Amino acid sequence: MAINVGEKLPEATFHVLENEGMKEYSTQDLFAGKTVALFAVPGAYTPTCSAAHVPSFVINFDRLKEKGIDTVACVSVNDAFVMKHWGENQNAENLLMLADGSASFTKAVGLELDLTARGMGIRSQRYSMLVKDGVVTQLNIDEPGKYEVSDAETLLSQL
């Protein structure tokens, strides 16, 4: 069952490859006392994710910050090495590129997507959420295969 507005994010650990090496971030580290725009993609380097989803947050980063967002983060069921390289490829240096390599966070929030039949394994549904101090205050989930409500512009309209 998917997480709902008003619910606290579950405990999970993300991996981020930084210049100094691999770093782990807990949900507590990332969300406690902060307002975070979090969005998830089915996979790094996939067509819609690369051509539209990540660019919508890169382009609107300053507008999100002006509206009080402390952190803009992208999560995907990929490893930290892929997320770092993809972030660089997308000119997303302002975004926090979170690796959920084993889909533990994705499963904990109930937003996994089984793409095994397409050779991609368990992935994340495409969504965006606004999280204030660890609690989901907005949640926009796209139907599988769609990109209609999880973009930065929709999230901005909800602030």
Q: What is the pLDDT of residues 80-127, one digit of tens each?
A: 999 999 999 999 999 999 999 999 999 999 999 988 888 788 999 999
CATH assignment of the domain containing 59 = 3.40.30.10
Domain that holds residue 31: 13-157
pLDDT in tens, 22-40: 999 999 999 999 999 999 9
Confidence bin at 141 (pLDDT 50/70/90): very high
Residue 129 lies in a domain: yes
**What is the structure's pLDDT at 120?**
81
Tens-place pLDDT, residues 36-77: 999 999 999 999 999 999 999 999 999 999 999 999 999 999
| 138 part of a folded domain | yes
How many domains does the chain contain in total? 1
Tell me, yes or no, whether 2 lies in a domain: no
Let me know if residue 116 belongs to a domain.
yes
The residues annotated as belonging to the active site are 49
Q: What's the per-residue H, E or C state across the chain?
A: CCCCCCCECCCCEEEEEECCEEEEEEHHHHHCCCEEEEEEECCCCCHHHHHHHHHHHHHCHHHHHHCCCCEEEEEECCCHHHHHHHHHHCCCCCCEEEECCCCHHHHHCCCEEEEHHHCCEEEECCEEEEEECCEEEEEEECCCCCCCCCCHHHHHHCC
7 part of a folded domain: no
Domain assignment present for 6: no
Is 3 part of any domain?
no
**Residue 8, in any domain of the structure:** no
